[in-house]
Amino acid sequence: MAKYQKITAEEVKTLIAQYNVLRRELYSFQIHYQILAEYFQTIKADFIVNFIPGQFLNRDLYDSTGPKAVAIMSGVLLGMEWPEGERNFCLELADNIPDTKENRDFINWQGDELLKEMNHPEAGLMLAANEFMRDGVCFGTAGIGVFEAPQKEGYECFFNFQPWDIKRIVIDEGPNGIVNRAYYCREESLDDVAKEFGHGNNTRD
């Protein structure tokens, strides 16, 4: 679950500088991503090309084998990873918690409630997972952001799942070659930012 924390102005400058460096390194890959998208996932064929509204993104695609292959493979993988109507995971008691009937009943109840919240239609897990799997098959890199659902009237679930695609995300690897940081760029209006973080969170310290 993503959590926000207050940082200083200097830390913000450092993060922006790190993001810009990684963004420049990503550009060489975006040329390849553009070609992959044009033949396998045309809806995202705007990595380095700007299309005007109404322009056909599949103007040079004369065969649907590629998009169909991505759809079939991502569907199969998603079905294996998150089968509909199944218990997709199982929570276990920690080593320091006694293995009693009461504790096991409680952890099983927690698992059922967690699964119910994750599968809630308004949480958007299936939409995010579907796009995540398609991007993973096509581009090799994708992600899902997990956030607390907005607290507003008529919104009854706890989670908010969002697909993070390679067009907006840059990743940084640690010395062991494992990703240890990810930057996600999104455009927001000032009004939306104020609603999310609060009007009072505008200090410069």
pLDDT in tens, 27-52: 888 889 988 988 898 888 888 887 77
Mean pLDDT of 129-145: 92
Of 149, 144, 98, 95, nearest in space to 120 by CA? 149
Per-residue pLDDT tens for 86-99? Answer: 667 888 999 999 99
User: Average model confidence (pLDDT) for the chain?
Assistant: 83
Q: What is the DSSP letter of 198?
A: -
Nearest CA to 123 among 84, 81, 161?
A: 161
Answer whether residue 26 shows pLDDT above 80.
yes
pLDDT exceeds cutoff 50 at 174: yes
User: Which strand (E) or helix (H) includes residue 144?
Assistant: strand 143-148
Residue type, 169: I
The pTM of the full predicted model, rounded to 2 decimals, is 0.76
200: pLDDT confidence band, cut at 50, 70 and 90? low
